[in-house]
Amino acid sequence: MKLFLYLIAIVWTIAALNGSCSEDDKREEKPRFKGVELYSWKDREGNWVFVLLDGTNELKTKERIKGAKNQTKGIQDLKKALARLAVGEQVFWTDRIEGLEFPPEKTQMDIKKAAEEAKIVLRSSEYKE
């Protein structure tokens, strides 16, 4: 009987964890009104940091961008964040603010490929469309 209850507890825990993980990976249902802005820079340790912010007509400051709570650290986590955006989402990637920069071209192409696989449109002034 104890073994049976133990197995039920394990199954319930796995189901609960699986449900919470899939909720995090759920895609947005529709594209955002003015798209998404992507910013990137290297932190003090030399790791890439990315931020996805709602598109707006306002110019964002370096402090606002680097102070955003939804920072994504590393290329793999950025790919996951892009995959959660709605199909057809427009993402605009820029580095025109001092203190921001694009990763090397090979990394940019890897991110662009991930965006294509996620069926989102990634635009950047760094590479040709």
Question: Quick check: is 12 in a domain?
Answer: no
pLDDT > 60? residue 38: yes
DSSP H or E segment with residue 4:
helix 2-24
Question: Quick check: is 42 in a domain?
Answer: yes
121: which strand partners?
90
Distance CA(17)–CA(85), nearest Å, equals 22
pLDDT > 80? residue 91: yes
Question: Quick check: is 21 in a domain?
Answer: no
Q: For 1-21, what is the mean pLDDT?
A: 46
- Structural domain for 66, as ranges: 27-124
User: Which runs of E-coded beta strand occur in the chain?
Assistant: 36-42, 48-54, 72-73, 90-93, 121-124
Distance CA(15)–CA(8), nearest Å, equals 10
Q: Is 98 exposed, middle or buried (0-12, 13-18, 19+ CB in 10 A)?
A: exposed
Q: For the segment 112-126, what is each residue's pLDDT rounded down to a tens digit?
A: 999 999 999 999 876
Domains identified in the chain, total number: 1
Q: At 8, is the pLDDT very low, low, confident or very high (cuts 50, 70, 90)?
A: low
Tokens 């990315």 appear where? 50
Q: Is 112 exposed, middle or buried (0-12, 13-18, 19+ CB in 10 A)?
A: middle
Phi, psi of 7 (to 5 degrees): -65, -40
Question: Quick check: is 9 in a domain?
Answer: no
SS3 category, 51: strand
pTM for the predicted model, two decimal places: 0.77
pLDDT > 80? residue 34: yes
Q: At 2, is the pLDDT very low, low, confident or very high (cuts 50, 70, 90)?
A: low
28: which strand partners?
none
Question: Quick check: is 59 in a domain?
Answer: yes
Question: Quick check: is 64 in a domain?
Answer: yes
Question: Quick check: is 44 in a domain?
Answer: yes
SS3 category, 33: coil
Question: Quick check: is 79 in a domain?
Answer: yes
Give 104 or 12, the one with higher predicted confidence.
104
